[in-house]
A and B are shown apart, each in its own frame.
Chain A
Amino acid sequence: MMARGLGIAVVVAAVAVLPLAAGPYPVKLVQEILIWGIFAMSLDLLMGYAGMVSFGHSAFFGIGAYTAALLLSKWPGLLAALAAPALAAAVGALAIGFLSTRVGGVYFIMLTLAFSQMFFALTFQNAFLGAEDGITSVPRPTLFGLPLTSLGAFHVYLIVIVGAAAFLLHRVVRSPFGHVLRGIHDNEERMQAVGYAIRRYKLLAFVIAGTVAGVAGSLYTQFVGSISPDAFLWTTSGEALLMVIIGGTGTLNGAWLGAAAFILLQSLVSSYTERWMLILGFTFVLFVLFAPGGIVGALRGRVGVHS
């Protein structure tokens, strides 16, 4: 337990001081990993804990991203950068979740996918939202009179928000509510038989995951400085799904490793060949076949052998 806490502290410290030691390129890679990592982690709450495989998580990433893009140019503060995107994504997740949690399994996957694609179609054709080009030149927020334009300032800001969101998700899975989610994952029928109104629990999990995804989307807009309808596309959901599985489903922290593997592979391989998706696909197949527990599962297996 001590060693674990120390390990986490070392990793967080290393990530935090990175801009002092490294150039802009690796720092930006790490920032991208942080944003995608927290997005994937929010999906893991649904997949790994509640057993709800959503293929439409991009809907909330996109809602958060567009809300931030619309508001930041007028009000470049925390309200536009954080509160409003989170709230908008929560409302979206409440509506979509209310309808989707009525069904299970493959129908849940298809419904969530359909809703996210509807958002894609909507933004793609909406002139106010910049149609297919999206919204560009979104300014970064200004905090305490300090615009977060520099690499270092944005880095610290990112670590604080992503860290808080990750802490929240960790608390949730260890809470009595998180325990209920694990029960639902294991046996819905028995959960109902002992007295749980399981749809409400699933809906609440969906809203929590959607809210965090909205924050991730907002951070992504701030990171890139623009957003396009592609944020809503099913590939955004699919990439988060791959990150969760590669990192280790039901581990939360596996999402960081999955996001890191995905993004490093993408940036390394794509500088040599256009066919990086082929290599990613192959990696994914290898993982599913030989390390179904993901990176975390493989690491734990290794630790188990030694102890």
Chain B
Amino acid sequence: MTSALLSIEALTRNFGALSALAGVSLALEARERRAVIGPNGAGKTTLFNVITGQLPPSGGRIVFDGHPIAGLPPHAVAQRGVSRSFQRTNLFPRLTVLENLRLAAAAGEGGSYDLLGRVERVTAPLAVARETASAVGLADRIGETVGRLSYGEQRQLEVGVALATRPKLLLLDEPTAGMSPEETQRMTRMLEGLPREVTLLIIEHDMDVVGSLADRVTVLHYGQVLTEGTFDEVKQDPRVYEVYLGTE
């Protein structure tokens, strides 16, 4: 087995008596696009929260790019090249599209302790921000504040802010949540267009999106990995139908 970009071993996270993650192991190759599916409460978002440091794990190991990252604070995980989007839109509401993206881009560029320079003259993060705005289809909306964007545009920006940090690994938590079919299609095309250098881990409920985007699929159920394989393999697994539809 080649060395994985992200390798998770026996990861657990308890909330009191509840085991949200009950020993999850998975390995993600660089350049891979992996979908995580599973019914509500399977532990998908908890998995993301633990990987990115929003929640400390109760046990287990997370190794990213050769370094253990389990239990690091969110900013330290992000600085190593792991970025995430949120299921519930989580932006800078009073700032413009460009400012949202610029902040994310500057986080990795350093120079943010620059007290006397002018924001508009520090060009590197601005260039990344404009580039990202185009990549997520918001090039003609960069001057708008977040509050004036449509819901679909806010979801695009949600992915854009995660992308603007130029991560090695991008975690997307239901990027199409609450979107219309047309918006979902646009988002899917946008995600397909992302450079392959960005390894993708995506939580998604829309099976069309999963089918067209993911190289492999991991199915979570009650905080454990039920099965893993290509989309077609997983689709034909009767146990997957059982957990989604229930058994008679």
Contacts and interface: CB of A to CB of B under 8 A. Distances in A.
B92 A186 contact: yes
Interface in A187-230: 187, 189-198, 201, 204, 208
A196 B90 contact: no
B117 A176 contact: yes
Given A176-B111, A176-B112, A179-B119, A194 B102 contact: no
A185 B86 CA distance: 19
B91 A194 contact: no
Interface stretch (B8-16, B38-46, B73-81, B177-185): B73-81
Given A174-B119, A180-B103, A195 B114 contact: no
By size class, the interface of chain B is 35 or more
- Interface-central residue, A174, A187, A194, A201, by most chain B CB under 10 Å: A194
B122 interface: yes
A192 B95 contact: no
B18 interface: no
A193 B95 contact: no
Nearest to B85: A193
Given A180-B103, A195-B75, A190 B161 contact: yes
A196 B95 contact: no
B104 A194 contact: yes
A149 interface: no
B120 to A, nearest CB: 9
A175 B122 CA distance: 9
Contact of B78 (A182, A185, A192): A192
Given A179-B119, A183-B95, A186-B95, A194 B113 contact: no
Interface in B94-110: 94-95, 99, 102-104, 106-108
A180 B73 CA distance: 18
Contact of B92 (A174, A176, A178, A190): A190
Given A194-B161, A195-B108, A186 B93 contact: yes
B146 to A, nearest CB: 9
Given A176-B106, A196-B107, A187 B79 contact: no
29 contacts: A172-B115, A172-B116, A175-B115, A176-B111, A176-B112, A176-B117, A178-B119, A179-B119, A180-B112, A183-B103, A187-B91, A187-B92, A190-B161, A191-B75, A191-B103, A192-B73, A193-B52, A193-B74, A193-B78, A193-B83, A193-B84, A194-B78, A194-B162, A194-B165, A195-B79, A195-B107, A195-B108, A196-B75, A197-B73
Interface of A: 171-172, 174-180, 182-183, 185-187, 189-198, 201, 204, 208
Given A187-B90, A190-B92, A194-B78, 17 more contacts: A171-B115, A171-B116, A172-B116, A175-B118, A176-B122, A182-B92, A186-B95, A187-B91, A191-B107, A192-B74, A193-B52, A193-B83, A193-B162, A194-B164, A195-B83, A195-B107, A197-B76
